[in-house]
Each structure stands twice: as C-alpha cells, then as structure tokens.
Amino acid sequence: MLEIFTLFADWLTHAVLGLDPSSRLGQAVHFFVEDTSKILVLLMVMIYVIGLARASLDLERVRAFLQRKHRFAGYLFGSGFGAITPFCSCSSIPLFLGFTSAGIPIGVTMAFLLTSPVINEVAVVLLWSLLGWKFTLAYIVVGMCVGILGGLLLDRLRAERWLQDFAARAYRQAGDHSDAAPQAQPAPGTMTFAERHEFAKNETLEIAGRIWKWVLIGIGIGAALHGFVPEGWFERQFGTGQWWSVPAAVLAGLPLYSNATGVIPVLESLLGKGLPLGTTLAFCMSVVAASIPEFLLLKQVMLWRLLALLFAILLASFILVGWIFNAIAPWLDIV
C-alpha cells in the first residue's frame, strides 16, 4: 500500500527532476520526497479518522461504561481510551474531573491519564510509516502496559489522597453513592455527520498546520544523519553493553517534548546506525510523552506529590522498557 509513495518519489526525482538514481543527490532527494509525502498524507488521513471517531464518541456513555466494568477490564479500557484521546489542557482536566466525580476507581482514571500522553495518533503514524508496524505495535502495547501497571500501582497507593481538595471530596461522595449514576447534564445535542466531518476537518488542518514544519526538519536531519554518520557509530557509543545509555536517552528526550514530530523521523536513522532498540524506544517515549508544561497544568486537580509521582512513574517505566527491550531485542527481529 505504501509503495505508491516510492513510485511517486521515483517519478518526481527521476522523470520530472531528471536526477540520476545512482547519484548521491538523486538518492537524497528521493529519500526526502518519499518520506515527506508518505508521512504528510498518512498524518492527514489518520488525524481526520481519529477526529471523526472522537467526535462520535459519547463521553457520558464511555464513563457509564467504565463505571459498570469489572475493575481489571476497567483498567484495560481506561488505558485504551487514553490512547485515542489527546493529552492537552483542553481535554485531560475536564475528563479527569468527569471521571473522578463519577466515582470511577482512581487507578482506572490514572491508567487513562498515563496512557494518554504516551500514545497519540501523530506518533503512531510516524512510527508506523518510518519504523514499521512491528515497532509501532510494540510501542502501543508497551505504552498501554505502562498506563495499566501505573494505574494499578497508584490505586494501591491510594492516590485519591493526593487530589486537590474539591476533587477528592467529589470522589468520596461519588463512592458513597456508587449506585446513583452521576447527574450528568444531557450533552447538548448529538452531532450530525456534517458536524463530525467539520470537527475532524478543523482538527486535521489545525494539527497539520502546526506540525508540518517539524516533520520536514526532522526528515531533513534524518537524511543528513543517514548520509554522514558512519555505520554502527551509535552501536559503539551507546551499545547495549552500557546500562546508562537508556536513562541518558530518557533524560535527553525530556526537553524535546514540543518537537516529537521532528524527533521521530530522526529515530529511523539512529536505529539504522545501530542505536539499540530499547534505547530508541525509551527515547521515543520520553520525547512523546514527558511534556513538563502539560503536566504542570494537572496541578489544578492534584497535589504536587501526585504530580511528581506520575511523572516519576512515566520516567521509571520508560527506563525499564528500554532495558527490557535491549535485553530481548536479539529475539525480536523488529527492525
């Protein structure tokens, strides 16, 4: 299915621009055209589809569904729901409060909150088109596991103690009347298809307009690394033998949160030059998920202690994921 982009790049580079396929410039241009066209098209399609799904999703029903579920199924669905919901100030705080005040177990809400930043449609498209479906699937599964296990841990720690007062009170009250459904105001009208399309279209244009330049920059840097860094350089510098390379990768990813779309294209080259799989995965998760400014907004609904704990759980699990994947990479044959 994706060959069409290779054919397009063949046509543009060789037939239209008349570049020699064996020349260095010809190869670089081909690489750039193929990757940018593929990624931009897939991104638009994916953001649109997810936008449509999101507009069709009735949050009140999702919430009622999570309330009824057995705890463990609840964790799975809470985390899955986090995967398709974007993590931003516009969505996470009201959803968090909606869940909490409905008495959904704190661990399930936390599973949602931990998974939401790790998995998002933009990262998934980039990973899939650049690193293949196996790596992407591994990323999604691992991301959901981080959310579910983190949620279970926070449940055991009774994390509701560290919510802001008003949220904690609402949670307790809801728990006292667990059989009484929350008095949700009916959502003002369900959306018609035209409205959903409008929502998804706006979403696509808004996100694509924001990130396209990062994609181009990232692919440019990736192409440069591709051409100039010697084969196996990363393997010698940060190979699996060095235990510290994974924590270092996670720390290095922290300040890059705003440029996740630019960083992922670079990963392709890094992997190609021998950066170990686990280290790459850990770096990727850190870049995509650990956005300090977005996390600080959660201060409105939770105390510092819980906020720090959430962040620490994310970072610690990325490091663990890195080590585990480095250890099992020889048997995986993922990339």
By the criterion CB under 8 A, which residues form the site for another protein?
Answer: 59-60, 63, 88-91, 93-95, 97-98, 101, 164, 166-167, 170, 182-185, 187-188, 198-199, 202, 297, 300-301
We find the least distance from the C-beta atom of residue 66 to another protein, in angstroms, to be 12
Q: Specify the residue, 171 or 325, whose C-beta has the smaller distance to another protein.
A: 171
Q: Specify the residue, 200 or 264, whose C-beta has the smaller distance to another protein.
A: 200
We find the least distance from the C-beta atom of residue 279 to another protein, in angstroms, to be 34
Single out the residue of 107, 104, 89, 114 nearest to residue 59, CA to CA: 104
C-alpha separations of 181 from 6, 99, 106, 131 in Å? 54, 12, 17, 45
Q: How far apart are the first and last CA of the chain?
A: 19
We find the least distance from the C-beta atom of residue 90 to another protein, in angstroms, to be 4
Q: Specify the residue, 108 or 223, whose C-beta has the smaller distance to another protein.
A: 108
Q: Specify the residue, 93 or 208, whose C-beta has the smaller distance to another protein.
A: 93
Q: Specify the residue, 26 or 98, whose C-beta has the smaller distance to another protein.
A: 98
> Which residue in the block uniquely carries the two structure tokens 């705080």?
93
Measure the CA–CA gap between 78 and 89, rounded to whole angstroms: 18
Helix axes 260-272, 277-289, angle to 10 degrees: 180
Q: Specify the residue, 14 or 197, whose C-beta has the smaller distance to another protein.
A: 197
With a CB cutoff of 8 Å and minimum separation 6, the contacts of 333 are none
Measure the CA–CA gap between 160 and 152, rounded to whole angstroms: 13
Contact 219, 24 (CB under 8 A): no
We find the least distance from the C-beta atom of residue 244 to another protein, in angstroms, to be 38
We find the least distance from the C-beta atom of residue 206 to another protein, in angstroms, to be 9
The length of the chain in residues reads: 335
The alpha carbon of 248 is separated from its chain's Cα centroid by a whole number of angstroms, namely 20
Q: Specify the residue, 199 or 311, whose C-beta has the smaller distance to another protein.
A: 199
We find the least distance from the C-beta atom of residue 182 to another protein, in angstroms, to be 7
Residue 280 in tokens: 């790459």
Measure the CA–CA gap between 41 and 29, rounded to whole angstroms: 18
We find the least distance from the C-beta atom of residue 263 to another protein, in angstroms, to be 23
Q: State the CB neighbour count (10 A cutoff) for residue 104.
A: 22
